Amino acid sequence: MKTLFAFGLALISGPLLAQSLEGTWQLTNTKSCLQSEMTESETEKELEGMMGGNSNSSVAKLIVFKKDGTGQEGVFSVGKKKGSDMNSFQYKVSGQEILFTDKKSGMITQRLVIDELTGTSLKIHDAMKDCESKEFVRVK
């Protein structure tokens, strides 16, 4: 009897413990369709490392999802409090998709599929392009 009660409680509380999209996310990796389809040789991987392909830069692309269904995305530089080219947007989460909507009409302008959402990482791809992907880490 106790086992049944514990199992029922776990089923009910499971959705309540789901990770939240809300917060500030920094883009760490992006792959285009071309990059996804290419396979690199060991020599190419070594050369990319030596050429600075994986080097850290002083510019970060951030996306912020707020609790009220609005957000902003833009580029931040080291030493600056505000980002440049900040774009505001509205969004909704529907199942495993993030739907970006037009402020005036409410029409869906972009659909992103959530591949993975944890407390510290977010992986998404465009619903129309399965081969493109973006990876983010939570910064706030």
CATH number of the CATH domain containing 130: 2.40.128.280
How would residue 15 be classed by pLDDT, with cut points 50, 70 and 90? very low
Q: Residue 80: its pLDDT value, please?
A: 65
Task: Write out the DSSP string of the chain.
Answer: -HHHHHHHHHHHHHHHTPPP--EEEEEEEEE-HHHHH----HHHHHHHHHTTTT---SEEEEEEE-TTSEEEEEEEETT-SS-EEEEEEEEEEETTEEEEE-TTT--EEEEEEEEEE-SSEEEEEETT-TT-EEEEEE--
Q: Is the predicted pLDDT of residue 63 greater than 50, yes or no?
A: yes
- Calculate mean pLDDT across residues 68-80: 84
8 lies in some domain: no
16 lies in some domain: no
Q: Residue 58: its pLDDT value, please?
A: 67
Bigger pLDDT: 81 vs 89 = 89
29 lies in some domain: yes
123 lies in some domain: yes
Total tally of structural domains belonging to the chain = 1
Q: What is the domain extent for residue 33? A: 21-138
